[in-house]
Amino acid sequence: MEIPVLYEDKYLLVVSKPQGLMSEPDAVGHENVADSLIAQLGPLRGNNILRNVHRLDRPVSGALLLARKASVLKLLTAQFTARRVDKKYWAVVSAPPSPANAELRHWLEKDNMQHKAVIYDKPRKKTDEVILRYATLQHTAGKSLLEIELVTGKYHQIRAQLAHIGCPIIGDEKYGSAEKYKPNAIALHARSLRFKHPIEGQAVEVLAAVPADSLWAAFG
């Protein structure tokens, strides 16, 4: 599948990952972003050292950052670790959150057997604190569009925290959504990414267009 390139220079790439595509290779051999880009861009632009700086779950779409050099990967990873990267997501949920805008602070445990995250209201052994902020942007046809700012970035964090407050993302059956969407897709989209260029020093900000389907189109 064609992967839109949002930003490109000799050091890095930012692309808009389609739903259903793996961010990086897995043991099963699903199609992934790096291999697809190498085939799409050709031997010069799609070199063989593309490395994911972060990841998006397979059913999630949106802005994904890749490094073209090992030294650049190290510098960008340091920005993520230090929480100096601004990441905003859009999600469509069927139950409007209450309050409409809030900060969520929970504790997350990764359940490796079930391949999902478990959320607690208080800290427990083997849990990590997880924080996000959400704002309700729009309501239409019984659905709500949320903008989410990640403070921490843990396994399935947005999906699990929203489900924990009774607002599972549409299509996310793993976390309790009763509404169907598309195969290998949920209504969660990495809308924007802002970081400092690791070599040149300027701020880089990209916006990724939402998937072209009726669910997202309902919000204009």
What pLDDT, in 10s, does the model give residues 118-176? 999 999 999 999 999 999 999 998 899 999 999 998 999 999 999 999 999 999 999 99
CB distance 18 to 46 below 8 Å: no
pTM score, two decimals?
Answer: 0.94
Helical H segments across 59-210, by residue range: 70-81, 157-164
**Residue 48 binned pLDDT confidence (cut-offs 50, 70, 90):** low
Assess whether pLDDT exceeds 70 at residue 43. no
What pLDDT shows up at residue 118?
97
**CATH number assigned to the domain comprising residue 40:** 3.30.2350.10
Asked whether 43 and 34 are in contact (CB, 8 A), the reply is no
Residues catalogued as catalytic: 57
- What is the gyration radius of the CA atoms in the chain, in angstroms? 17
C-alpha span between 51 and 63 (Å, rounded): 15
- pLDDT for the residue numbered 220: 82
Of the pLDDT bands very low, low, confident and very high (cuts 50, 70, 90), residue 34 is: confident
Is 162:98 a contact under the CB 8 Å cutoff? no
Please give the tally of structural domains in the chain: 1
Question: Whole domain around residue 93: which residue ranges?
Answer: 5-217
Model confidence at 28, pLDDT cuts 50, 70, 90, reads confident
